[in-house]
Chain A
Amino acid sequence: MPIDRNAVDHVARLARLDLSEDERSRMQVELSAILDHAERIQALELDDLEPTSHPVPLRNMMRPDEVTPSLSQQEALANAPSEEDGRFKVPRIIEDA
C-alpha cells in the first residue's frame, strides 16, 4: 500500500522528526516499498492465532522494597545538554498565565 505525503507528515510529527523536504520525499518512496513487501502477510489466515508480544512467558519479578544505592543527582545530570539548579533544563513548556 503506497503511503501518501500527508501520512509521512503526520507520522514525522508523531515521531518528533523534523525531516527535510528531501527526506520526506525519499521516505514516502522507501516506506511504500517496505510496506508493499509486508503486505504479503495480509493474505494469511491469522484470525485464530493469539499475538506474540514476547518470546518467553513473563512473570512479575518481585524484590524487597528496600532502599539501595543508586545514581547521585550529580551523576544523573552529568550527561545533560543543559541543567540548572540540579535539574534538566528545557525550553519553556508552560505559557505565562
Chain B
Amino acid sequence: MSITDLHWMTAHELADLLAAGDVSSVDIAEAVIARTEDVEPKLDAFLTRTDDRLRADAKASDERRRNGETRSRFDGVPIGYKDVFVTKGIQSTSGSRILEGFIPPYDATVVDRGTAAGLPLHGKLNMDEFAMGSSGENSGFKVTRNPWDLERVPGGSSSGPAAAVAAGVVPWAWGTDTGGSVRQPAALTGVVGVKPTYGRISRFGMIAFASSLDQAGPFTRSVKDAAALIEIVAGGDRNDSTCLPESAPDLLSGIDAGIDGMRIGLIKEVENAEGIAPGVRSRVDEAYARLEKLGATLEEVSLPSFEHGISAYYLVAPAECSANLARFDGVRYGLRVDADDIVSMMSKTRDAGFGDEVKRRIMLGTYALSAGYYDAYYGKAQKVRTLIMRDLERAYESVDVIASPTAPTTAFRLGEKTDDPLAMYLNDVFTVPYPLAGNGAVSVPCGTSADDGLPVGLQLAAAALDEPTLFRAAYAFEQDLAWAGTPESRPSI
C-alpha cells in the first residue's frame, strides 16, 4: 500500500508498519493532518484541533521506539476523543456553550490510559450537547456532516468520532453510548461501534449525562481494532466506584475462533416491527443468513418489554441528567450571566448556556422526579428497566448473542427530525434496551442499502461481561462479508 493510503489504514495495520520500521509515527501524524485539512472544511467533525500536540506526541513516540521503550503495540497510532472526555490543558466542552473555554485540570481515565499506551492525541471531536441527541444537530457549536452524503446526519450523539473515523481522518476514536450514541452513528457512517458492558470502562473524566447508563465505547474501521482499544482502557479505576474491578478482558486471542454452533437470537418483536426501511431490512436479512452459513443457529426470542424501552429510557436518562447538570450553575466553571441575586444568576446562566434539547431533558427529568410524579414516572420506568433485564436474562438462557438492525433507517437528512423530538427519540428503539440492562452490544457494518447507497449496521448484543462472544461473532461476520477495508467501505468525500 502506498504512503498516500496511510490515513485509511486500521490501527493494527499501522502498528505493523511501525514495528517493521516502514513508517514513523510522525509520518502517520502528517498523513492524518493532511487528510483532516482536506475533508474537515466539509465534515466539521472537530471542536478543537490539536495538531501541534499530535506532532509532539508522535515525535515522542518515535523516540521511544528508537530507544526500545515502546509503551504498547499501538504506540504511535493517533486517536481522537469525543469532547465529552476531559483533557488536561485542552478545551473540553461536551458540545455545550455553557462550557466554552473550559480548560480541565486533569485527563479522563480513558485519555490517561490511551496516553499510557502511547497513542498520540488527534483532537477533540464534535457531539450533541452533553451527548443528548441522535443526529449531532444538537451540538452547541456546529453540525457534523455524514461523509457518505454531506446533506445527511452522521448520527449521534457521537457525531464527530463517527464521521472522523468513517472519513479516514483518524484510525480510531472514543465516543460514549448512553442510549445508542456509539452504535447508531457507527451504523449510519459504516464503521464499527461498541457499547461495552456497563462498568467495563471507567467514567472518570467523562462529563456525566446519565450515570447509570453512560459507557465509553470505541469507533474503529475493524472489529479487531475495537477489541484492542477496549483492552487498552478497560479495568478497575479507584476514581470510579462503578467501574468493575475485573481486569481488562482478553478479546483478541480468541477472536478468530469462529461461530460454529453459536446460538443467535432474532427478536420476534423487532422482526415484526414496522418502520424498518426496506434497504436496511434486506441487508440485515442477508447478514442473518451469513451468520447461519458460518455455522450459527438462528432462534427466535421474544422480548415483549422491548417496546417499552424508549418510554423507560426517556424518563430514566432525563431524570439522571437533570441531577447531573445541576452542577452547571455559573459558580465554579463555565458560563456566567450576571444578575443581582444568586437564583437569577443561575437561572439566566443556565437558560443562556444550554441548548433546546438539553433544556427539554432537564425539564422532563425534573418533572419526572418532582413530588407527586416520582412514582408514576421515574419509579415505573425503573421497574420497566427490571422487566427488560429479566427478558434479556431469559433470552440469554437459550441464545449466546442477539441480532437486530442497529437503527431502523439509514442516515436521515439534516433537519429532517429536528422539529419533532419524539420522532428523533424513536430512532433509538433498537439500541436503548441494552444500556438499560447494562449489557454490551456492537454495531458492525453490513454494507450499504440498495435504496440509497448509505451504510447499514448490524447490532449484536450479549450478556453482561460476555464481550469475548460478542467480538467472536462480530469478527466472523466482518471477515466473511469482506466489506470493511475495501474501496466500497470508503466514502468518496
Contact = CB atoms under 8 A, between A and B. Distances in A.
Contacts of A7: 367
B133 interface: no
Contact of B322 (A15, A50, A76, A82): A15
A67 interface: no
Contact of B360 (A14, A27, A44): A27
Interface size range on A against B? 35 or more
Interface string B324-340: 00100111111110111
A82 B331 CA distance: 7
Interface stretch (B176-184, B379-387, B410-418): B379-387
A38 to B, nearest CB: 4
10 contacts: A16-B326, A27-B360, A31-B363, A38-B314, A41-B308, A46-B383, A51-B386, A52-B382, A52-B385, A81-B330
A96 B360 CA distance: 37
Nearest to B348: A18
Interface in A45-91: 46, 49-56, 58, 60-61, 63, 71, 75-76, 78-82, 88, 90-91
B172 interface: no
Contacts of A8: 363
A34 B422 contact: yes
B386 A18 contact: no
A73 to B, nearest CB: 12
B315 interface: yes
B366 A44 contact: no
Nearest to A24: B363
Interface size range on B against A? 35 or more
Contacts of A51: 379, 382-383, 385-386
Which residue, of B212, B354, B363, B385, has the highest number of chain A Cβ atoms within 10 A?
B363
A75 B333 CA distance: 11
Nearest to B426: A37
A63 B238 contact: yes
B345 A91 contact: yes
Given A15-B362, A52-B386, A56-B464, A38 B336 contact: no
A26 to B, nearest CB: 8
Contact of A55 (B345, B370, B438): B438
Contacts of B360: 27, 30-31
A31 B379 CA distance: 18
Interface string B344-358: 111110110010100
B104 to A, nearest CB: 8
